[in-house]
Amino acid sequence: MKEREPERLPPEQAGAMYLEHGEQLLAFAMGLLRHRELAREVVQNTFGKALEHAGGIPLEARKAWLFRVARNEALAIRRRDGVARRVQSELQSGTSSLEEEPHFELLRSEELQLVRDALDRLPPPQREVVRQKFFEGRTFAQIAESEGLPLGTVLTRMRLALGKLEESLRKTR
C-alpha cells in the first residue's frame, strides 16, 4: 500500500490561519516553554509544517492540528534543551563516577576523541554554534548577534548539531 503524499497548504490559507491562530499558538507555546524566543520558534516551525502538510486537513480540524503540532514542537525543544544542559554540565564538570576506575584516563581520552571526531564531522555553521555555546559559554542571543543571524537560525543549528552528535556518538557505543 502506497503512503499518501502530504498535501501542501496554499500560502494565503496559511496566512489566514496565522492571523486567526498565531497569537493563541504563541501563548500556548509560552505556557509550555516559558521562553519567548523558543515559543516563537515553535510557532514558526508549526506554520512551516502547516504549509507542507495541512492542505489535506479538513478546515474544522486545522486548529486542533496546529495545537497538536505546536505541542510536539515544544516538547522536542524541551528534550533538546535537556540534552544540551546535560552535555554542557558534563563538559564543564569534567567528572564522573568512572574517575575511580583504574583505566579511567584511557577511557576518558577515548571518549574525548570520539566527541572531538563527532564535532569535526559537523557542518561548520553548526560546529561554530556548539563551540560558542559550550566552550565559550555564550547565550544563543549572543551567538546570534555575533554571527549576524536570526535567533531562530542559531537555535535550529544547535538542534541539528545536537541531533547529529547524539546519532554519531550512539553509533560508536
3-state DSSP helix/strand/coil percent for the chain, to nearest 5? 80, 0, 20
- The answer to whether the beta carbons of residues 140 and 158 sit under 8 Å apart is yes
pLDDT of residue 33: 87
Question: Does residue 16 lie in a domain region?
Answer: yes
Whichever domain contains 29, its CATH number is 1.10.1740
**Cell triple for residue 99?**
574517575
The pLDDT tens digits for 114-156 are 888 888 899 999 999 988 888 888 888 899 999 999 988 999 9
Structurally, the chain folds into a number of domains equal to 2
Same domain for 74 and 109, yes or no, is: no
Cα–Cα nearest to 88, from 130, 120, 41? 130
Same domain for 103 and 167, yes or no, is: yes
pLDDT of residue 46: 92
**Cell triple for residue 51?**
504549509
Whichever domain contains 141, its CATH number is 1.10.10.10
Same domain for 107 and 167, yes or no, is: yes
Question: Does residue 28 lie in a domain region?
Answer: yes
* Range of the structural domain that residue 61 is part of: 11-78
Q: Last residue of some domain: 47, 78, 109? A: 78
The pLDDT tens digits for 19-36 are 999 999 999 999 988 888
**Cell triple for residue 34?**
516559558
The pLDDT tens digits for 76-110 are 888 877 766 666 666 666 554 445 555 555 556 67
- The answer to whether the beta carbons of residues 87 and 131 sit under 8 Å apart is no
Model pTM score: 0.49
Q: Which helix (H) or strand (E) holds 52?
A: helix 36-53
The pLDDT tens digits for 37-70 are 889 999 998 988 888 888 888 989 999 999 999 9
